Chains A and B, each alone.
Chain A
Amino acid sequence: MDAVLQALSDGSRRIVLDTLKDGPATVGDLAALLPIARPGVSRHLRVLRDAGLVDVRREAQFRVYSLRPEPLAQVDEWLGHYRSLWEQRLDALHTEVARGKRARRTRT
């Protein structure tokens, strides 16, 4: 999970994942999207692979990368638990703010 979040914390790697959402791509395709040198692209791809976010397979002389959505679903589920908890609290705070306003109006 930590590896997944670290992998997601980088802008270049998020571009790669966004691209792979639309379908598999070769290293060349991905490198063309990023304003960095090829070794940097390979490093990013390795981080994504280690985090389980991408799969790689060989097709002829190309290495083809594809998205593995499972870790993203896990992150979403984990966040969803805390998100709904805080959403309930923040909604209840809206109610309290409205109550405070009504109370002040009645006093004046």
Chain B
Amino acid sequence: MSNDTQADKHVVGTLRSVDGMGVVRMEDRYDTGIDDLWSALTEPDRLARWIADVEGDLRVGGEFHASFTSGWEGSGRVDMCEPPRRLRVTMSPGQQDQTVIEAELVPEGDQTSLAVEERGLPLDELAAHGAGWQAHV
């Protein structure tokens, strides 16, 4: 592994719109195998250490409650689970602030690349609030 931490950073962020809603896509590469990364994305005790406390039914179609490290709290639903490659959940299902988060894992040698897409983000918030984003969230 390289000692240059900058060279190890692969985060790429892009933005596009679908049906008037924003889609943010982030990509990164992890220094571990696909099964280990999958477990970090799906096992509650591991999820709690990097993104959210989740409680409830984590099977496909099941609903759960999530408290994110960012402070956001709400309900979620597992839409798709294809170990160890694809996972899709809907946050706030059926509500106005509903978003879909999809994770895709691809093995790359000893490493695993991860692409996370969050869809359904409200683009009009920007038009309405302009530079006031920080005050708004």
Contact = CB atoms under 8 A, between A and B. Distances in A.
A71 to B, nearest CB: 10
B50 A100 contact: no
A2 B17 contact: yes
Interface stretch (A29-37, A58-66, A86-94): A86-94
At the interface, is chain B mostly helix, strand, loop or mixed? mixed
Contacts, number: 100
Given A89-B50, A90-B114, A96-B49, A75 B15 contact: yes
Contact of A96 (B40, B70, B133): B40
A97 B133 contact: no
Contact of B30 (A75, A78, A87, A94): A94
Nearest to A104: B36
Given A2-B124, A81-B133, 19 more contacts: A1-B17, A1-B126, A5-B22, A9-B17, A78-B133, A82-B15, A82-B121, A86-B116, A87-B11, A87-B13, A89-B50, A93-B28, A93-B40, A95-B49, A97-B32, A97-B37, A98-B31, A100-B36, A100-B39
